[in-house]
Amino acid sequence: MILRISQWIAAAYSAHILRLTHTGATLHMARYIFITGGVVSSLGKGLASAALGALLQARGFSVRLRKLDPYLNVDPGTMSPFEHGEVFVTDDGAETDLDLGHYERFTGVPAQNTDSVSSGRIYSTVLEKERRGDYLGKTIQVVPHVTNQIKDFLNVGGDDVDFMLCEIGGTVGDIEGLPFFEAIRQFSHDKPRGQCIFMHLTLLPYLAASGELKTKPTQHSVKELQSIGIAPDILVCRSEHPIPEKEREKIALFCNVRKESVVAAYDLPSIYDAPLAYHAQGLDQAVLDAFQISPAPKPDLSVWRDVSDRVNNPEGEVNVAIVGKYTQLEDAYKSIKEALTHGGMANRVKVNVEWVDAEVFDKSDDVATKLEGFQAILVPGGFGERGTEGKIKAAQFARERNVPYLGICLGMQMAVIEAARNVAGIKTAGSEEFDHESGKKRFEPVVYHLKEWVQGNAKVSRKLGDDKGGTMRLGAYDATLMAGSKVAEVYGKTAIDERHRHRYEVDIAYREQLEKAGLRFSGMSPDGSLPEIVEWPDHPWFIGVQFHPELKSKPFDPHPLFRDFVRAAKDVSRLV
């Protein structure tokens, strides 16, 4: 018996070795792909990284994606949405760059705290070690101490996947990014030969006057990269026009890469066309060739063909108003916009989003003029009092006119305040947040500052004067849904877990009074102390959630709330 088990283990191990040999992977060691950018920012490194991860998955490889940001903030948690866009929250409670949302949406791999790091976090760690005496009195320098800390970060989880894709924020030549570029240069030399490759995104501008694509900015960007010791293996060239063979050969010659490794990146009708477009341009094959993985498994792109078909061939359309306070920058609500697109794909409709500034309603009671033409209204999260009266009026309009309504985080709290004021008779209902901001008491706080909650088996405590960064209720928490409620029907179950990011909470002390008025508390924390979901049972579709469901939605797996919210909007559109 023992002999047979030993033989089985030996056979299984041999099969594993054969699989790794076939795919070219090294046993217990990830291959690293470093993605850098040049010429200008916002070329789409995050999207290219996410699409490449999806293509490698389609070939049967496991992947993990990471973001290294040069800014000195420890994380984006305290940054203004106008400054940085949305903050993407992971299951383990990390506040990260919005590119991690792209990574999750394209690969389905849940991001972790170890998948996002900034210069601020690196320097904080180094300085904490210095204060503890970990460096034994040595002089602390960027090289080797800061670069070693970055390399330690890169090594985390390197034994768990076939490919580790690491995106470096900013552009080559940025002074704050130099420690990261030096670290990945060292990292590639520390690893066995052929274990790391570099992919560089550049811009090929088109001069209409001469009718030419200009390759010089790309050449200069690559030279800048080479001057710090990094030679790109693959060039991804962003262009509005097809790249002629002559220009492709020129880029390959002057940038010292193979012609097959010059990959075009064109503007697309939808970001969800990116995996198919990059595959057509040979990006995944160029990566496998750079690693000398041959023969490589053929990709199964059926999921992405279905995604592309759904997003490009809708059978109808719905109009949804997002009534928010950061509407001047769409990236502030990036995941919400994408989750609505996913809901549209599930229902075979195009979702037309219109951004409505909540402050417009602060100054006017004429809500109907702005919102009458929409089949659904979504009120997202936010911080501070600005625009909240407008959000309350939007919730009232949706309730009274039977328009499908989804309130997220602050959007749920405003729906509760609206119900308290206009239905339950608590005329001065408001949030402690607004009183704290103004410095005087004006409201009866049906929403209060959350001071204690349970996380796992531990109790977490917070005070109003605590530091802002990382002190909210962050990450995935369980919730229990009321049997027979609308949300239980939407989810198809009564036990869920969702990601949170908030420090104010609806006060359970007002539950009885609000439920007598008709508002149902249909989702609660497992201990029954924190309201997670409210709904109006007599409304066609009115749900407010304290968490952020948009963070878990994917094109091939739309979130149930967004899928059903768009379905409800679709039903309204048929009645018009």
Instruction: Give the pLDDT confidence score for residue 7 in this predicted structure.
Output: 38
What percent of the chain is modeled with pLDDT above 70?
91
% of the chain residues with pLDDT over 90: 75
554 annotated to bind ligand: no
Element at 152 (helix H, strand E): helix 147-155
Higher pLDDT, 256 or 443: 256
* 219 has binding-site annotation: yes
Q: Give buried/exposed letters for 34-44 (b at 16+ CB in 10 A, else e).
A: bbbbbbeeebb
Q: Which two tokens stand for residue 193?
A: 């030969």
Find how far residue 204's CA is from the centre of its chain.
28
Instruction: Indicate whether 14 pLDDT > 70.
Output: no
**Mean per-residue pLDDT, 490-515:** 95
Question: Do 300 and 396 reside in the same domain of the chain?
Answer: no
Both 354 and 502 in one domain: the answer is yes
Active site residues: 409, 548, 550
Q: Does the pLDDT value for residue 116 go beyond 70?
A: yes
Based on the fold, state whether residues 531 and 492 are members of the same structural domain.
Answer: yes
CATH number, position 522: 3.40.50.880
* Domain annotation covers residue 10: no
Is residue 2 domain-resident? no
Amino acid present at 247? E
Cα 422 to its chain centre, rounded Å, is 36
Helices (H) and strands (E) in the chain, counts: 21, 25
Does 104 carry a binding-site annotation? no
pTM for the full model?
0.90
Q: Which amino acid is at 255?
A: C
Residues 118 and 259 in one domain: yes
411 annotated as a binding-site residue: yes
In the predicted model, is pLDDT for residue 484 greater than 70?
yes
Residue 13 placed within a domain = no
pLDDT above 50 for 25: no
Instruction: Please give the pLDDT value at position 328.
Output: 76
The answer as to whether 262 is a domain residue is yes
Residue 490 lies in a domain: yes
Query: Residue range 499-517: average pLDDT?
Result: 95
Q: Is 489 annotated as a binding residue?
A: no
The tally of domains found in the chain comes to 2
Residues 477 and 532 in one domain: yes
Is 248 found in the same domain as 339? no
The answer on pLDDT for 454 being more than 80 is no
DSSP labels for 64-121? EEEEEE-SSSSSGGGS-HHHH-PPEE-TT--EE-THHHHHHHHH-PPP-GGGEEEHHH
Last residue of a domain, one of 240, 275, 307: 307
Query: Residue 119: pLDDT band by 50, 70, 90 thresholds?
Result: very high
pLDDT in tens, 146-182: 999 999 999 998 889 999 999 999 999 899 999 999 9
CB-based contact 499:475 (threshold 8 Å): yes
* Mean predicted lDDT score pLDDT of the chain: 89
Q: Is 446 contained in some domain?
A: yes
Q: Which residue has the higher pLDDT, 561 or 18?
A: 561
Q: Are 378 and 336 contacting, i.e. CB atoms less than 8 angstroms apart?
A: yes
Question: Of 245, 275, 307, which residue sits at a domain end?
Answer: 307
- What is the C-alpha separation between 425 and 198, in angstroms, rounded? 63
* Same domain? 246 vs 135: yes
Q: Given this model, what pLDDT does residue 205 score?
A: 93
167 is in an annotated binding site: yes
- Lowest average pLDDT, out of 16-20, 64-68, 190-194, 537-541, goes to 16-20
CATH code, domain carrying 194 = 3.40.50.300
Which structure tokens are listed for 563? 């899928």
Q: Is 509 found in the same domain as 442?
A: yes
User: Do 390 and 258 fall within a single domain?
Assistant: no
Q: Is residue 541 assigned to a domain?
A: yes
**C-alpha torsion 25→26→27→29, nearest 10:** -100
Same domain, 290 and 352: no
175 is in an annotated binding site: yes
Is 441 part of any known ligand binding site?
Answer: no
User: Would strands 458-461 and 452-455 be described as parallel, antiparallel, or unpaired?
Assistant: antiparallel
Q: Within 10 A of 483 (CB to CB), how many other CB atoms are there?
A: 9
Residue 260 sits in the same domain as residue 338: no
Domain that holds residue 61: 32-307
Final residue of a structural domain among 278, 307, 336: 307
When pLDDT is cut at 50, 70 and 90, the band that residue 91 belongs to is very high
482: number of Cβ within 10 Å: 16
Q: Is residue 46 a known part of a binding site? A: yes
One domain for residues 87 and 161? yes
What's the rounded Cα separation, in Å, for the pair 573 and 376?
A: 9
Q: Is 19 part of a structural domain of the chain?
A: no
